[in-house]
Structure 1
Amino acid sequence: MPKRVKATEAPNVPAITCPELLGQLIKAKRTGMKLKLRDCAALCGVGVNTLSRLERGNPNTTLAAAFSVLQGLGIQLTVESDSSAEEWV
């Protein structure tokens, strides 16, 4: 009998501030969708090793790969406006 995908919890934080938290978020979404690593990688158009590195929070994964996975899983990044953002303009 094939292994079932066990859902993991998403990080309970107000913001994703490091690669490890992004990886936890991605893994929680994937497992919540009951997708195996290889199936999710195929869906997102990345390699299994790339997806695995993202989920482990490897900071050397490319931004392009991260966005492919986020898009494939339906995760949107949003910007919260604050007063310090105006300093960048």
Structure 2
Amino acid sequence: MIYTPNRIGQLIKETRTGMGLTQEQLALTAGTGLRFIIDLEKGKPTCQVGLVLTVLNTLGIKVTLTSACGGGWGR
């Protein structure tokens, strides 16, 4: 499990480089700025969650959210 912005950044960088993409190419494909990708890969904790999800989706990284109390969305 990933619990920190730093680890999310590491995962994004590892996936991006594994796909042979530069930071510039990822930014263009995801529709973000280069500075955002740089900050995200460095684990900047204040990155906009919507853009983070866009980048994850662009790289094909799936996100699963589970409630700590085990409940569903309706609780």
- Could you state the TM-score of these two structures normalised by the residue count of structure 2? 0.87
Q: Give, in whole Å, the separation in 2 of the partners of 1:16 and 1:48.
A: 24
Query: Of the two, which has the highest radius of gyration?
Result: 1
Equivalent of 1:86 in 66, 71, 75: 71
When the two chains are superposed, the root-mean-square deviation of aligned CA atoms in Å is: 2.0
Percent of residue pairs identical: 36
The reply to whether residue 41 of structure 1 matches residue 46 of structure 2 is no
Q: AA paired with 1:86?
A: G
Task: Please tell me whether residue 55 in structure 1 is matched to residue 71 in structure 2.
Answer: no
Runs of at least 5 residues in structure 1 that lack an aligned partner in the other structure: 1-14
How many aligned positions are there? 74
Deviation, 1:87, is: 8.7
Matched, 1:19 2:1: no
Question: Which one has more relative contact order, counting CA pairs under 8 Å at least 6 apart?
Answer: 2
The one of 50, 67, 72 equivalent to 1:64 is 50
What is aligned with 2:14? 28
Cα distance, 1:81 vs structure 2 = 7.2
